[in-house]
Amino acid sequence: MEKVLKPMSGYLALVICLALLAASGYLFITGVEVNVTFVILAIACFLLSCFFMKGLMIIQPNHSRVLNFFGKYVGSVKDNGLFFINPLYSSQKISLRSENLQGQTLKVNDKMGNPIEIAVVMVWKVGDTYKAAFDVERYSDFVKMQSEAAVRHLAMSFPYDNLEDDHAPITLREGGDKINSILEQELTDRLSKAGIIIQEARISHLAYASEIAGAMLQRQQATAIVAARTKIVEGAVGMVDLALKKLSEENIVELDDERKAAMVSNLMVVLCGEKAAQPILNAGTLYN
């Protein structure tokens, strides 16, 4: 468990170190001319100043130090500035700044077995210095490997697109923020053991694999064409029905069943055709 320490300011210790160095120089120069004892005191002051200097520690903004005393965790310092700690402590630097990770493009099968290419970009930082320092070997490598595993698991849990089931709850292509939220939760669950906080995670690349991209594009185009034709037919039927009702209500012309069938056929050809219709004038009647 992380324990935050508040060490003493290092400015007084710095002054003492400088004073010891000055005393060491003075005693050495005096001792060479007067007494060897002064030389011994000079050496002692110099060694003592070096010992105290080892306890001086500068922590930059958004950085921390994890302190150990002969293999025992003492605590973590997250404040910024100059501090003095026990010179016998060993320390490990850990950055608390946010970092970007652009994952490599992975080739994986989606829930329906279709090969797809997927990549994510994520923003993360260290939240628990104890876990980052002691629970994993190298937390930066751990983030890379677990993020790749999370992306693979996400891709295998959802279909790329609605192909067989038009009412599928979530797809990778249309999931949007919901898919990103699931990805963030997956990453949080995997990286929490290393004390990592996920600030943001988004899918940066998503596409069918090259071997099926052409076939899937044709399928999507065919689906779009069928949907468009369905809308055209629905609109044409409504227009024909409206035309027949208006002709009947306003007594413009009386049509028997055969004439109605011919009119419906002609209107459907005109409304549903891909090209502009070319009218043909009939000088006779339908019965001649």
Predicted local confidence at residue 257, as pLDDT: 66
Cα 227 to Cα 128, 162, 164, 204, 216: the distances in Å are 53, 14, 15, 29, 16
Predicted local confidence at residue 148, as pLDDT: 92
The Cβ of residue 260 has, within 10 Å, a number of other Cβ atoms equal to 14
32 & 61 share domain:
yes
Three-state secondary structure readout of 45-65: HHHHHHHHHHCEEEECCCEEE
Residue 59: domain span = 8-91
286 within some domain: no
172 & 241 share domain:
no
pLDDT tens per residue, the chain (288 residues)? 888 889 898 899 899 988 988 888 878 777 666 677 878 888 888 899 899 899 999 999 999 999 999 989 999 999 999 999 999 999 999 999 999 998 888 888 888 888 888 999 999 999 999 999 999 989 999 999 999 999 999 988 888 877 555 555 788 888 888 999 999 999 999 999 999 999 999 998 888 877 655 666 666 666 677 777 777 777 777 777 777 777 677 666 666 666 667 767 766 666 666 666 566 655 555 555
169 & 134 share domain:
yes
Nearest CA among 223, 247, 243 for reference residue 235? 243
Lookup: tokens for 255: 């049509």
Q: What is the CATH number of the domain that holds 198?
A: 3.30.479.30
The Cβ of residue 47 has, within 10 Å, a number of other Cβ atoms equal to 12
Lookup: tokens for 79: 């404040």
Nearest CA among 270, 143, 247 for reference residue 198? 143
204 & 217 share domain:
no
161 & 217 share domain:
no
Tally of domains within the chain: 3
